[in-house]
Amino acid sequence: MRALVPLAAVTLACLAGAGPLPRFKNLVTFGDSYTDTVLVLDGGTPWPVYLADYANLALKPFARAGATCSDKITTLFFPSVMESQIPAYEDSNPYPPTGPTVYTLWIGTNDVGAGALLTGNFPGKTVVDTTKCAVDWVRVMYGLGARYFIFQNMIPLELTPMYSRNAYLNYIWQAERNTTAWNIGMLELTTAGNALSLLFLRNLAPTLPGAHIAYFDSHALFTSMYYHPAAYLNGTAPINVTGAVNACRYELNDGPVGGACPPPVPEEGGARDSYLWWDELHPSEQANRVVAREMARALKGNTAWATWIS
């Protein structure tokens, strides 16, 4: 198995530098389908709901499935962070939330994915643009009064069934493509985007007096779940990190194989908790429980997957 060294290998020392963290009262979330609490795509309860329960927080969710960071960069006609989600937050009541509040952003999957950067749908736009936009979310929200942020980087999308070398046609993408090229391209996009976001955040942090920014290493966490699944997956079925609970293989230009998608793995007996992925692109509910658990620990400054960089 691949040896894994998380980004925050010296996390406790880094976290200590952030000073004492408040006891947070509110959680405000932004992002795409990985965080959406309305259109839930993990087969169960989304991670922000688990986190709010684990940490006793009032949840104010603004993430929406299909979102990109900005319609000015990658337009997919879903509620983007900059043009839709932030204005929705500004229009919310109460605004701003009362009591210590932490703001999270998990974005990028749609920006770099099929139909966007990976397939060259937006000529002249690059992962530099989408990453700058994501980091700019911190600056914009700071101007609206936010002071505590958790920035969640992109997962290793090349490990998902959607972008693996053994990928098959599915409900998300039903046209021919070179799966090896997509796998390599996604590896490059997520790796470069994450390296840039950390650099950009470290440069931004000193310009925002009183801001506290945590970098949550979703990439390292999901890499660990993929290569060391027994430490995270606990279902009654054999551990599975390459398939999906709700998998559906499509024929080229002819819909699902056999005319219909097979039923998902049954929920009864806990079998679904053996899977890392819900469908070809989205994490499973069990994976999201792990995300919520480590996010709760980040709010207390004691997880190996987050570093407070300011």
User: Which domains, and CATH codes, for the chain?
Assistant: 11-221+287-308 (3.40.50.1110)
Decide the pairing of beta strands 212-216 and 306-308. Answer: antiparallel
262-297 burial, b at 16+ Cβ within 10 Å, e below that, comes to: eebbeeeeebbbbbbbbbbbbbbbbbbbbbbbbbbb
pLDDT at 94: 76
pLDDT at 10: 32
Q: Interior CA angle at 59 toward 57 and 65, to 5°? A: 145
DSSP secondary structure letter of residue 104:
E
Decide the pairing of beta strands 148-152 and 212-216. Answer: parallel
Cα first-last separation, the chain: 34
Backbone φ, ψ for residue 230 (5° rounding):
-65, -20
Residue 32 neighbours by CB distance under 10 Å: 29
Instruction: Please identify every stretch of the chain with a pLDDT value under 70, giving residue numbers as ranges.
Output: 1-19
Q: Reduced to 3 states, what is the DSSP secondary structure of residue 181?
A: helix
Q: Which residues contact 27 (CB under 8 A, 6 or more apart)?
A: 48, 51, 52, 55, 57, 58, 59, 60, 101, 102, 104
Residue 39 neighbours by CB distance under 10 Å: 11
pLDDT at 20: 81
Beta strand segments in 145-250, E: 148-152, 212-216
Hey, which residues does 212 pair with through a beta bridge? Answer: 148
pLDDT at 30: 98
pTM score above 0.95: no
CA 169 – CA 280 distance, rounded (Å): 10
pLDDT at 6: 40
